[in-house]
Structure 1
Amino acid sequence: MQQNLQQFKIVDKAFKIKQASKYYLTVKFTETALNYCVYDPSKRRFVALANYENLDSYQYDNLIVNDELLTQFYGKLRIIVPSQEYTLIPNEYFDLKSVNDYASLHFRNRSNKVFVNDVPSLNAKQIFTLDERLQRTVTHFFEGALIYFEGTPLLEGLINQSSHTEKQLLYIHVVKGAIQLVVFSNGKLQFYNRFEYKTDDEFIYFPLFVCKQLDLNPKDLHVFMLGAIRPGDVAYNLIHQHFRKVHFGELSTRLGFSAAMTQIPQHRFYSLLNIELCA
């Protein structure tokens, strides 16, 4: 497609901004990017999608105030954020009163606010912190929003799609400066983690390291690429150099889209759009 995926906005003709309260807005942040989608629950389909990349670190304010869709009042508001501090706790061991104790045990930065997501497919809770700079933006512009760690909709989507296969699967979800790696074996989640990287060598090191630690043969794995990656990218070429069975991931068939949005590669905004599986 000819669409510039680094910066664009697609809005379905059926979307009525004066009726924004009937729709759901989800905004996903990374350190240097922002993308969002608008979902129509009555028609069960996404009606708007936008993406802004290469922003200054944690500088979103001007973009938000100048985007009309981001300043409306919506029936449901959700925010997806990155975090360097997160952990999964099975429901049978989780006690809401002990959240601060979990944070003290697992997290180094005591000043960042702690959040909890439910992960129904794992019968677990995702505990994570939110960067103070990003928290100020969310509090100022999106007060009352539900906050999700980026791994939560990613895992919900992948578990939904991968629980019925006996193959060994590796999902590589890419954003600028970070990747999330998810491994399934015989339909069960075997591994999840998020890694930050600065160089191409660091990028490819992490999936190869995970394969070594889990005793997986890169040539036998079915690898699916998600997020900000496309043919011709250095990351794309590196993955093809080391893995044999490589594909782009696809969204769940449970998700519906307006016709204009079908032009966007399905893998590109996987974690953003899978938020509807977390509802």
Structure 2
Amino acid sequence: MLTSSSTILDKKYIKLVLQISLTEISFCIFDTLKKTIDTFGQYPLPKSASFTDVETAIIQFIKQTPILQSKFDDVIVLHNNNLMSFVPQAFFNEDYLGSYLQYNVKVFETDFITFDVIENYEMNNVYIPYVNINNSLLDCYGSFNYKHAHSILVKKVLDLSKNNDEPQMFVHCQQDNFQLIAVKNQKLLLFNSFEFKTKEDFIYYLLFTAEQLQLNPESFQLKLFGNITKESEIYQIAYKYVRNVSLFIENINLEAAISQEDYLKNFILIHACE
């Protein structure tokens, strides 16, 4: 990010978007002049029972990866975890952030809690970021902005549901969990995140949620994206039980030369560049 002493001659016209979870680091490098993404990258983190070990692995990877040590005009860090909750603006009070998480997240008095405003949708995403990682990244990049990855995810899905009065279900698939977003014409009906080990776990959560929302598997639209292809087990089992299933690729910008695979896998990174 530019400091107050930077001039236009110092600008590199590149932006880094860095997404961090406890299982993977992913990133993209965006050319702000050409408005194109030059590089995507993913790095699976070693499994560890210690959160401290994971944090150390994350920072070591960033410091030891030359492309991530470039000079960037802007750095955005996305925290990808389930320590969050969407709260309608009508019920939101910044003085009581912890109360919005206490029913689905174990909250400690020492936790730092913040929120993202979801612009145009009168709601906020209240969440716990990885504070120690943020502090370490200050040494790497000086200053940066950070958000929750699901803030980007939900806002873009809502944007793309405009003028569609039929309920739609979007499923963003990751390695061992998925985010389920149900929408209707830019209204968020439900957001939840589920951990799963088998394709049977996946379809159970999907159909159970549809039942609770009174959505008929014979009629509602199911859009799948993230770490998924038509050959994936979870795509195949969804196709077996839900009539209208497709990969969510309608919004690919062909001029930006983004492949279908990259768009599906890097949906959040791509739209964080906007």
Q: With structure 1 as the length reference, what TM-score do the two structures score? A: 0.80
| 1:267 equivalent in structure 2 | 264
Say which SS state the counterpart of residue 235 (structure 2) adopts: helix
Distance 1:56-1:105 versus aligned 2 partners, 3 A rule: closer
1:117-142, Cα deviation, whole Å (9 max, x unpaired): 11113122111012466556545545
Tell me if the contact between 2:182 and 2:189 (Cα under 8 Å) persists in the aligned partners: yes
Amino-acid identity (%): 17
1:5-29, Cα deviation, whole Å (9 max, x unpaired): xxxxxxxxxxxxx977422110112
| 2:66 equivalent in structure 1 | 68
| 1:53 equivalent in structure 2 | 44
Tell me if the contact between 1:113 and 1:130 (Cα under 8 Å) persists in the aligned partners: yes
| 2:94 equivalent in structure 1 | 96
Equivalenced residues, count: 258
| 1:22 equivalent in structure 2 | 13
- Write the mapping of 1:213-232 to structure 2, written as runs, cut at 5 A: 213-232=212-231
| 1:78 equivalent in structure 2 | 76
1:18-61, Cα deviation, whole Å (9 max, x unpaired): 97742211011222211111222233222222222364353323
Higher RCO, Cα 8 Å, sep 6+: 1
Higher mean alpha-carbon deviation, 147-156 vs 186-195, is at: 186-195
Tell me if the contact between 1:115 and 1:129 (Cα under 8 Å) persists in the aligned partners: yes
1:109-163, Cα deviation, whole Å (9 max, x unpaired): 2143212111113122111012466556545545533222221111111111112
Q: Distance in 2 between matches of 1:197 and 1:144?
A: 36
Does residue 208 of structure 1 match 2:207?
Answer: yes
Say which SS state the counterpart of residue 81 (structure 2) adopts: coil
Give structure 1 stretches of 5+ with no counterpart.
1-17
| 1:125 equivalent in structure 2 | 124
| 1:245 equivalent in structure 2 | 244
Higher mean alpha-carbon deviation, 43-52 vs 225-234, is at: 43-52
Say which SS state the counterpart of residue 240 (structure 1) adopts: helix
| 1:10 equivalent in structure 2 | none
Say which SS state the counterpart of residue 36 (structure 1) adopts: strand
How far apart are 1:250 and its partner, in Å?
Answer: 2.1
Tell me if the contact between 2:22 and 2:45 (Cα under 8 Å) persists in the aligned partners: no
Q: With structure 2 as the length reference, what TM-score do the two structures score? A: 0.81
Give structure 2 stretches of 5+ with no counterpart.
1-8, 49-53
Q: Distance in 2 between matches of 1:26 and 1:61?
A: 15
| 1:108 equivalent in structure 2 | 106
